[in-house]
Amino acid sequence: MTGPRSPHPEFEELISASLAGELGDDERRRLDAHLDACDACRGTLAAFADGRRIVAGLRHVPVPRDLHARVRGGIEAGRFAAVPWWRRPAVLFAGIGGGLAAVAGALLAIVLLNQPSGPVGEASPTPSPAPASAGSVTPSPTPSFPSAPTPTPGAATPGPSPTEPAPTATPAPTEEASPEPVAYLGHTGPFDNRALVVADGPTGEGIAEDSTAPGPPIAAELSPDGQWVAYVVRVGESGLHEVRATRIGEGEPSDDPDALPPIDSPVAVGETVILGESVAGDPFGEQLFWSTPRGVYLAYTLTDPETGDTDAWLFEPGTGESRQLTDTGNAYAASWIPGGDTSSAMLWVSTAGDQPVSHLHDFHVDAGGQGAPGDPSEDAMATAEGVFQPLLNASGRFAIYWNGTMERAGDGSWQFTIGGQPYLADHIWESEVVRFDESSERAVFRDLAVGRDGFASASITWGPDGDTYAIWDARWTGAPQSGANEPDYPDPRRVYFSRATDERGMTRGQAIDVADVPEDWAVVDVKLSPTGEHLVLTVARPLGGTMDPPEADLLLVERRFGDEADVVRVIRGEQDTNWWGPALFPQPGADRP
């Protein structure tokens, strides 16, 4: 028995030719335009691409949430006494390798029987230089940065069974998912007495207020337990930012025996903690990372206005205190590996330089906030050469990271000067190493030729569905790669929107419409909704005069492809003279009490 035929059989030969790299420019543009407008063909491409990865032997195994407790429990029991730490988790993955062959065969059969006949693959992009390899990630001895006592075995929250392969495709978001944010920030009030407010998304009612905020918020993240909002605010026209965290709620114990208890913090509901001051204008330094599933830690980056040193910092809601993690002057916080247990979490920390490097470290709840700042290259659990600020998706399966030659700017922050561009690859935890898979690595922008010219920087975010991602404020070091009478590409005013499972990568045709953002306005922040089809933009208006307060509107954009215009709606803004945004969505992987 065979599956249904493709609804668009006329494109089957083009899709087949694209796999072999035999498409001409006109054919490629025609196929790209069709895939942009056709959900069925995009779904086919994503399913077949995922099947090809499995058949090729790639393993998509999420980190078990109780990994630390199992490994350390084995150490306590003496099972791993003579085995290096990086070999100890091997028993957790026993049996997966053999099962993958069966899963791969079954999935391939499903793809071939139930998807349109004929091979499906990516449309051939404009040729660009081969991406620089991220290199293998080498394990190191047991970490001692920072020092911490061994967690109590058995304290982990149950996670997925290590003997069952994880799903190989990110589940599609449900149609019932709301595109509206659960909350958003605002900077409101009279010119000489503005306050930062956290407003409930559905009602617009105030949840919390920070009357001491010196300026409007430009980045924000909600903690997984919903008790905290971390945000970055401008400090007037000083060229500085402040990083802050406001407690907006108090977790309640759950009747669910598997639910994690709420974090007890000395900071009262409604109080704000100032986490530090930093030089403005560095998109790599405006990222905020909550650990999941509880939000035990917030990782962030500060560039000291006096010394120009850039280092990673950590805030612990449980103590209400922040501490400096690194002292090298060129370090940036990156993503936590999703999951973990109730006592520890693993964080990627990157160091900038001619060749950037990322290092993986383990942090412990029971460390009591102790540990002096150090060099992240010392005693790292793993090291990834040529990888800068990896941003992991909700499941930890995919990573977007940077590669290229970096230099320090005059203010102390770092940017790419030669060959800078973002890459997307599988992020894999195996029995012996954590690595960014070289065989799956590809340049995010597939129709840009990167040589000496490339990206200086850009802002990047993942959607809650773990598949969609957006890039904006793309700063290019050379002449834009656009034809006559065409808009600049890449364009720092545009937001580029794609999916990790779309192997065509990002192209100029995946930018939101020019008309979505008024001319001379600036996109400050982007959040992707759980629908996988909506973006929520914080868009700053042009300043009317030197004494006018900064203003911004919060826009909801429903992305449409082909010749159909995007649908744009103002959530807050229009005629009022306030600043609205960024939007807040629940953290993926949250386990709320």
The string of pLDDT tens digits covering residues 531-590 is 999 999 999 999 876 678 899 999 999 999 888 999 999 999 988 889 999 999 997 654
- Give the torsion through C-alpha atoms of 67, 73, 76, 82, to 10 deg: -50
- Give the torsion through C-alpha atoms of 507, 510, 513, 514, to 10 deg: -20
Specify the residue for token string 């051939």: 124
- CB under 8 Å to 24, separation ≥6 — which residues? none
DSSP character at residue 25? H
- CB under 8 Å to 264, separation ≥6 — which residues? 318
Would you call 84 exposed, middle or buried from its count of C-beta atoms within 10 A (0-12, 13-18, 19+)?
Answer: exposed
With a cut of 60, say whether residue 402 has pLDDT above it.
yes
Would you call 1 exposed, middle or buried from its count of C-beta atoms within 10 A (0-12, 13-18, 19+)?
Answer: exposed
Would you call 250 exposed, middle or buried from its count of C-beta atoms within 10 A (0-12, 13-18, 19+)?
Answer: middle
Distance of CA 416 to the CA centre of its chain: 19
191 confidence band (pLDDT: 50, 70, 90): confident
With a cut of 90, say whether residue 187 has pLDDT above it.
yes
DSSP character at residue 448? -
Q: What's phi and psi for 103, nearest 5 deg?
A: -60, -45
pLDDT of residue 263: 81
CA 9/CA 193 separation, integer angstroms: 63
pLDDT of residue 257: 63
Across 297-324, average pLDDT: 95
CA 510/CA 97 separation, integer angstroms: 37
| 80 touches 90 (CB < 8 A) | no
- Give the torsion through C-alpha atoms of 66, 397, 143, 461, to 10 deg: -110
pLDDT of residue 388: 98
Residue 70, SS3?
A: helix
Position with higher pLDDT, 175 vs 318:
318
CA 361/CA 385 separation, integer angstroms: 15
> CA of 203: how far to CAs of 138, 200, 207, 534, in Å?
50, 6, 10, 20
CB atoms under 10 Å from CB of 519, counted, come to: 8
Domain ranges of the chain: 9-127, 139-584
The H or E element that residue 218 is part of is strand 217-222
154-176 pLDDT, tens digit per residue, is 233 233 332 233 334 444 444 46
| Tokens encoding 188 | 């409101």
Which pTM was predicted? 0.73
Across 85-106, average pLDDT: 32
Assess whether the previous peptide bond of 158 is cis (omega < 30° from 0).
no
β-partners of residue 539 are: 523, 553
Least reliable range by pLDDT among 119-123, 281-285, 320-324: 119-123
With a cut of 70, say whether residue 255 has pLDDT above it.
no
Handedness of CA 120, 505, 352, 323 (dihedral sign): negative
| 295 touches 263 (CB < 8 A) | yes
508-523 pLDDT, tens digit per residue, is 989 999 999 998 999 9
Q: Class assignment of domain 139-584?
A: mainly beta
| Tokens encoding 29 | 């543009």
pLDDT of residue 337: 92
pLDDT of residue 293: 84
CA proximity to 290, closest of 303, 300, 278, 276: 300
With a cut of 50, say whether residue 357 has pLDDT above it.
yes
Amino acid at 280: A
Residue 44, SS3?
A: helix
With a cut of 70, say whether residue 38 has pLDDT above it.
yes
Specify the residue for token string 């020019």: 514
pLDDT of residue 193: 86
Would you call 485 exposed, middle or buried from its count of C-beta atoms within 10 A (0-12, 13-18, 19+)?
Answer: exposed
Give 3-state DSSP helix, strand, coil % of the chain, rounded to 5: 15, 30, 50
β-partners of residue 418 are: 405
Would you call 190 exposed, middle or buried from its count of C-beta atoms within 10 A (0-12, 13-18, 19+)?
Answer: exposed
pLDDT of residue 28: 64
| 55 touches 108 (CB < 8 A) | yes
With a cut of 50, say whether residue 9 has pLDDT above it.
yes
CA 296/CA 346 separation, integer angstroms: 12
pLDDT of residue 76: 42
93 confidence band (pLDDT: 50, 70, 90): very low
pLDDT of residue 55: 40
